[in-house]
Structure 1
Amino acid sequence: MGVQSEQAVCPQVNIGEVRFPGFYIMSQFHIAELARRGTVEKVAGSTPTRAAYKMGPNFNFRINTRSVYPLGLPEEFAFVTVLRMDGSTVQKKWNIWQMQDLNGDEQLSVGLNGLAQSLEFTFIALDKQKQSVVFSFLPLLFNSRWHEIVLSVSRRLVTLFVDCVKIESQNIRTREKVNLDGYTLLGKLKDNPGIAVPFELQSMLVRCDARRPEREACHEHPANTASRIPPITRP
Structure 2
Amino acid sequence: MAWRLDWSKETNILTAMLLWPVWSLILLLIPVDAADKGDDVRAGCSTAVNDLVYIVDGSWSVGFADFETAKQWLINITSQFDISSHYTQVAVIQYSDNPRLEIPLGKQQSAADLIRAIKGITYMGGNTQTGRAIRFAVDHVFSTSQRASPVKNRIAVVVTDGKSQDDIVDSSMEARAQSITVFAVGVGDEIANSELVSIANKPSTAYVLYAEDYTTIDRIRDSMEQKLCEESVCPTRIPVASRDEKGFELMVGMNIETKAKKIPGSLVSQTAFALNTSTDITEKTSEIFPEGLPPSYVFVATIRLKGIAPTLNFDLWRVLSKKKEIQAAVTLNGKDKSVTFTTTSVSKREQRIVFQGFQALYDGMWHQLKLLVRPSQVTSFLDDQQIQEVLLEPAEPIYINGKTQVAKRRGTDVTVPMEIQKLRLYCDPHQSEKETACEIFSVVKTFNL
Fold-level similarity (TM above 0.5): yes
Give the conservation status (yes or no) of the 8 Å contact 2:319–2:403: yes
Residue in structure 1 matching 2:334, options 104, 114, 122: 114
Give the conservation status (yes or no) of the 8 Å contact 2:226–2:295: no
Secondary structure of 1:209 counterpart: coil
Question: Does 1:195 find its partner at 2:426?
Answer: no
Question: What amino acid does structure 2 have at the position aligned with 1:198?
Answer: P
Deviation at 1:226, TM superposition (A): 9.2
> Structure 2: how far apart are the matches of 1:105 and 1:189?
15
Residue in structure 2 matching 1:28, options 253, 260, 265: 253
Aligned residue in 2 for 1:224: 442
1:1-235 → structure 2 map (5 Å cutoff): 1-10=225-234, 11-34=236-259, 40-192=260-412, 194-213=413-432, 215-216=433-434, 218=436, 220-225=438-443
* TM-score, with structure 1 as normaliser: 0.88
**Structure showing the higher helix proportion among its residues:** 2
Q: What is the identity percentage for the equivalent residue pairs of Structure 1 and Structure 2?
A: 24
> Structure 2: how far apart are the matches of 1:104 and 1:188?
13
RCO comparison, higher one (Cα < 8 Å, 6+): 1
Deviation at 1:55, TM superposition (A): 1.3
The higher radius of gyration belongs to 2
Secondary structure of 1:225 counterpart: helix
> Structure 2: how far apart are the matches of 1:121 and 1:57?
24
Deviation at 1:195, TM superposition (A): 0.5
Give the conservation status (yes or no) of the 8 Å contact 2:357–2:387: no
> Structure 2: how far apart are the matches of 1:181 and 1:84?
31
Secondary structure of 1:137 counterpart: coil
What's the C-alpha RMSD, in Å, of the aligned pairs?
1.8
Question: What amino acid does structure 2 have at the position aligned with 1:210?
Answer: P
Secondary structure of 1:2 counterpart: helix
Which consecutive residues of structure 2, in runs of 5 or more, have no partner in the other structure?
Answer: 1-224
Give the conservation status (yes or no) of the 8 Å contact 1:101–1:179: yes
Change (3 A) 1:161 1:42: same
Give the conservation status (yes or no) of the 8 Å contact 2:383–2:437: no
**Deviant stretches of 4+, over 6 Å:** none
**Structure showing the higher strand proportion among its residues:** 1
Give the conservation status (yes or no) of the 8 Å contact 1:56–1:187: no
Q: How many residues align?
A: 221
* TM-score, with structure 2 as normaliser: 0.47
Secondary structure of 1:49 counterpart: coil
Deviation at 1:227, TM superposition (A): 11
Deviation at 1:217, TM superposition (A): 5.6
Deviating more after overlay: 127-136 vs 106-115: 127-136
Change (3 A) 1:28 1:105: same
Deviating more after overlay: 90-99 vs 122-131: 122-131
Question: What amino acid does structure 1 have at the position aligned with 2:256?
Answer: I
Question: What amino acid does structure 2 have at the position aligned with 1:149?
Answer: L
Deviating more after overlay: 72-81 vs 119-128: 119-128
Give the conservation status (yes or no) of the 8 Å contact 2:300–2:368: yes
Deviation at 1:138, TM superposition (A): 2.0
